[in-house]
Structure 1
Amino acid sequence: MKKLGYLVMCLLVTIAAQAQDQKEIDFVEYDLDNGLHVILHQDNSTPIVAVTMMYHVGSKNEDPQRTGFAHFFEHLLFEGSKNIDRGEYAKIVERAGGQWNANTSQDRTFYYEVLPSNRLELGLYLESERLLHAKIDSTGVETQREVVKEEKRQRYDNQPYMTFAQEIFKRAYTEHPYRWTPIGSMEDLDAATMEEFMDFYKKFYVPNNAVLSIAGDLDIDDTRELVEKYFSEIPRGTMEIPRPDVVEPAQAEEIRDVIYDDIQLPAVFHAYHMPAQGTDDYYALSMLTQVLSGGPSARLNKQLVDKQQKALQVFAFPYALENPGLFITLGITNIGITPEELESAIDAEFESVQEELITEREFQKIRNQIEVDFVSQNSRVAGVAESLADYHMYFGDANLINTEIEKFMDVTREDLKRVANKYLTKENRVVLYYLPKSENNQTQSN
């Protein structure tokens, strides 16, 4: 096993060295008169192109009485447009040999098509139609209401443990709109009127609230002409775009609760408040994640799953957001292990990084992992396009796609120990035990 670990370490060092030799990602960026920010990256190595549109609207921009709108629009805007028949959007992309999808977070909504490069113009046409001529009518709204309800049932309500984000966020936040998650409330969607849906579209789906990021097998000058053709005449939005400025009060004491779910094995969830993405402490906590949960040999898995056999699975990850987010750990108990026993074991691993510096060898390993991950996320043109849009939207600096790794590399072992002590404290966390419903029935009968 030691020899295997040494070989893995050597491989990571080699890959990291190769990563340092990667060429910078060149790009061109500019604004149209209507406020649309455009980013173009030319990579002619493969004959594909990614056309992406990112809108600076997520669940945190919603009316507290109309939650779920941002995610609902992710679905609704595939209904079609003035010039695209209902249900034809996806078929058009697939007939062209492409792929499409979209996703919504607390902070933004993202659409993309990956197409053969000779169909670049098709992608631009489709995104311009979504922005200018989206089909928002009663038929589409009613159809997508049912689609979203079914998604909630299938992905959250009927999946073991998968309500954890909703349950955690509504306890961790009392003031900030992160207190609800993107799936939102089905009651809010049912109560919404067509006027409210149109108002949301006109407010947020405007060029001055969007980034058009295109990467792949393209010619910069030709693409600029196509962008001008399809987007320059779209009018700038005139409504004020709300940006929540609520500061969540510091949590003063630990919050604990029990969720009874349709599960067989109990689980323990911890959620610690953490700073916003892009801050120095965010980078340190992200690297600390690698120490705790960065693969089979990381501390939580090695100790709790392999050695102590108290957990069937255990993970830690930063739920990083534009405003301060959460550092989440979750563990599913092994057979015969109580949640209390698992929680105590997790706490012990956290205490170990609070009390002692990690070793130099362990530190170098996680630095290598970070470098590999940084390169890997931009190994596909779709990843490049998304990263460029992210960096511009959140930080106003698309060139972070080349330089953000330096912020990780500036983190020291002392920083890891410091943030562990600063943020991973009991008074700063929400603790949820997920227990089988049968235990709740037994409690009630007693």
Structure 2
Amino acid sequence: MRLATCFRSSLLTSLAVLMLAVNPQAHAADGATRAAEFKLSNGMDVVVIPDHRSPVVTHMVWYRVGAADEVRGTSGIAHFLEHLMFKSTDKIPVGEFSKIVGRLGGQDNAFTGNDATAYFQRVAKDRLGKMMEMEADRMVNLRLDEKEVLTERDVILEERRSRIENNPSSILDEQMNAALYLNHPYGKPVIGWYHEMAKLSRQNALDFYKHYYAPNNAILVVSGDVTVDEVKKLADETYGKIPSNPTVTTTRNRPADPPQLVARRLTLKDPRAGNYSFQRYYQAPSYVTAKPGEAEALDILMKIAGSGSTSRLYKKLVVESKLASSAGGDFSGYGLDGGTISLYAVAADGVPLEKVEAASDEVLADIVKNGVTEQELTRAKNSYLADYVYDSDNQATLARRYGWNLAVGRTVADVEAWPANISKVTANDVKKVAAKYLDPNDSVTGYLVPDQSGVAQVEDLSAPSPSGELR
């Protein structure tokens, strides 16, 4: 899927950074109770985020279903259905959905993740009712022609070839995820495994659609130039007419991983790889599964350890030792069942990956042993809080912020409490989560090695052998 364009105000950026550097708590009033929420009689949740600066709205429908909810053996069906949702209904001819949005002066798209699937449009305010009508129509009236299904299946297979199998870094990422999760469905790719995708059928898509696509399994998010009363009236007239589906349950029964007892290692040799690179993934809790304060501390930990040119990994590996041309890390904490900590480094010319890995381990070991400084802590908090303010200036980003959190079981209150909770993180909190979750036994390490011997050839990868696939 195409990514929506984000716009930021440089003046707002400068003022936000200055304000937060002086007072990290100053963000609280801006984020407090910004969104309103209610529920339709059929169980559909609705969130409204008013922003009256321009007569534009972002309209999103989130379904509480993603790739991790697929029946084993049908990997990729969630993403496949996302594609098929743009086909036809009795009211909308094949391929006309996006064209109608475009003729109305709007933009639309969709994306699939492990835990949610979302569809969205950005249109003028007076087109909102039409968007609700169209989205409500395809929620229950999708029409799937066998020929169109087979054609679209070829499309997703080609997408997999171009995105995964022609990209050594993506192949390594996929293999590392498969090794990181011993039993949980997060270990399979959102786009699906090639051999299973090639067998996906019209009936697979219909079964998935009829079970999960219902108002009581959906969240409507509208941000922009609207009031709560306006949205409620339009939602009642469109989505409110759809009956709930009693077979949809709020509990997602997914297999859990057993205790991780041993570190795993992978090496991918591929002649198409441009550089020697090192990666490491750790399992970690998410904002849904973590104990109070832990997810925020993990965010701060990885901001200090791996985010940007001021991070410890970058300074140690790139600036000081010259072992790598780039290095960094991240905490991904918005999964329903857990999150991940990731590290990477691209080796400088002639530097063995073992030496790069050892230097990375030294950075992490120092944080585990000695923690972080108050200066690092303050800088990390201010950076996150400034990002929160910048993103709050974009209605599409706001809609995603609330939609994703609600789709994985969090609340509007959780979203709006995040800045205050980030501000509460202490240096000791960061040290504790580093010691607890940077556990080698709960990790996978991967090496990507340029190799001219032809170990991994393109033709080998057209047959069966990242966290959201975009249409």
| TM-score above 0.5, yes or no | yes
Native 8 Å contact 2:28 2:420 kept in 1: no
* Structure 1 partner of 2:359: 345
Of 56-65 and 270-279, deviating more is 270-279
Q: What amino acid is the match of 2:286?
A: A
1:179 aligns with 2:187: yes
1:291 aligns with 2:328: no
The residue correspondences of 1:182-197 to structure 2 (distance < 5 A) are 182-197=190-205
Separation in 1, partners of 2:336, 2:385: 23
Separation in 1, partners of 2:24, 2:163: 36
Q: What amino acid is the match of 2:347?
A: T
1:256 aligns with 2:265: yes
1:211 aligns with 2:225: no
Alpha-carbon displacement from aligned partner over 1:86-105 (angstroms, at most 9, x marks no partner): 11111111222212111111
Of 278-287 and 235-244, deviating more is 235-244
Separation in 2, partners of 1:23, 1:255: 42
The counterpart of 1:376, out of the listed 390, 395, 401, is 390
Native 8 Å contact 1:39 1:213 kept in 2: yes
Unaligned ranges ≥5, structure 1: 1-7
Of 190-199 and 415-424, deviating more is 190-199
Structure 2 SS opposite 1:414 = helix
1:118 aligns with 2:132: no
Structure 2 SS opposite 1:430 = strand
The residue correspondences of 1:391-410 to structure 2 (distance < 5 A) are 391-410=405-424
Separation in 2, partners of 1:346, 1:11: 34
Separation in 2, partners of 1:275, 1:31: 29
Separation in 1, partners of 2:225, 2:385: 26
Of 286-295 and 48-57, deviating more is 286-295
Q: What amino acid is the match of 2:294?
A: D
Higher relative contact order (CA 8 A, sep 6+): 2
Q: What amino acid is the match of 1:318?
A: F
Q: What amino acid is the match of 2:327?
A: V
* Structure 2 partner of 1:167: 175
Of 337-346 and 401-410, deviating more is 401-410
1:317 aligns with 2:317: no
Q: What amino acid is the match of 2:118?
A: F
Alpha-carbon displacement from aligned partner over 1:336-386 (angstroms, at most 9, x marks no partner): 111111101111111111111211111111111121122223221112222
Alpha-carbon displacement from aligned partner over 1:190-222 (angstroms, at most 9, x marks no partner): 223322221110001111111011111113222
Q: What amino acid is the match of 2:255?
A: V
**TM-score, structure 2 length as denominator?**
0.87
Native 8 Å contact 2:61 2:119 kept in 1: yes
Structure 1 SS opposite 2:139 = helix
1:282 aligns with 2:295: yes
Q: Per the alignment, do residues 308 and 328 of structure 1 end up closer, same or farther by CA in structure 2, a change over 3 Å counting?
A: same
Separation in 2, partners of 1:244, 1:214: 29
* Structure 2 partner of 1:243: 252
* Structure 2 partner of 1:303: 316
Native 8 Å contact 1:59 1:68 kept in 2: yes
Q: Displacement, 1:10?
A: 5.9
Q: Per the alignment, do residues 20 and 27 of structure 1 end up closer, same or farther by CA in structure 2, a change over 3 Å counting?
A: closer
Of 388-397 and 211-220, deviating more is 388-397
Native 8 Å contact 1:55 1:211 kept in 2: yes
Q: Displacement, 1:307?
A: 2.0
Q: Per the alignment, do residues 397 and 11 of structure 1 end up closer, same or farther by CA in structure 2, a change over 3 Å counting?
A: closer
Separation in 2, partners of 1:43, 1:25: 13
Native 8 Å contact 2:32 2:417 kept in 1: no
Alpha-carbon displacement from aligned partner over 1:97-131 (angstroms, at most 9, x marks no partner): 21211111111111110111121112212211220
Of 375-384 and 357-366, deviating more is 375-384
1:265 aligns with 2:275: yes
Of 18-27 and 273-282, deviating more is 18-27
Q: Displacement, 1:440?
A: 6.3
Q: What amino acid is the match of 1:369?
A: S
Q: What amino acid is the match of 1:266?
A: Y
Pairwise CA RMSD: 2.1
Separation in 2, partners of 1:164, 1:313: 18
- Structure 1 residue runs of 4+, over 3 Å off? 8-12, 14-21, 439-442
Q: What amino acid is the match of 1:314?
A: A
State the identity as a percent.
Answer: 27
Of 318-327 and 285-294, deviating more is 318-327
Separation in 1, partners of 2:82, 2:35: 27
Q: Displacement, 1:16?
A: 5.2
Q: Per the alignment, do residues 350 and 15 of structure 1 end up closer, same or farther by CA in structure 2, a change over 3 Å counting?
A: same
Native 8 Å contact 1:106 1:182 kept in 2: yes
Alpha-carbon displacement from aligned partner over 1:6-34 (angstroms, at most 9, x marks no partner): xx986861595763452535333222222
Separation in 2, partners of 1:178, 1:210: 22
Of 165-174 and 371-380, deviating more is 371-380
Separation in 1, partners of 2:295, 2:454: 38
Q: Per the alignment, do residues 62 and 341 of structure 1 end up closer, same or farther by CA in structure 2, a change over 3 Å counting?
A: same
* Structure 2 partner of 1:4: none
Unaligned ranges ≥5, structure 2: 1-15, 457-471
* Structure 2 partner of 1:364: 378
Of 188-197 and 361-370, deviating more is 188-197
Structure 1 SS opposite 2:89 = coil
1:28 aligns with 2:36: yes
Native 8 Å contact 2:300 2:377 kept in 1: no
The number of equivalent residue pairs is: 435
Q: What amino acid is the match of 2:279?
A: F
1:417 aligns with 2:431: yes
Q: Per the alignment, do residues 170 and 30 of structure 1 end up closer, same or farther by CA in structure 2, a change over 3 Å counting?
A: same
Structure 2 SS opposite 1:225 = helix
The counterpart of 2:144, out of the listed 133, 136, 139, is 136
Alpha-carbon displacement from aligned partner over 1:153-189 (angstroms, at most 9, x marks no partner): 2222212412233111110111111120201123223
* Structure 2 partner of 1:5: none
Q: Per the alignment, do residues 218 and 121 of structure 1 end up closer, same or farther by CA in structure 2, a change over 3 Å counting?
A: same
Separation in 2, partners of 1:404, 1:235: 35
Native 8 Å contact 2:176 2:266 kept in 1: no
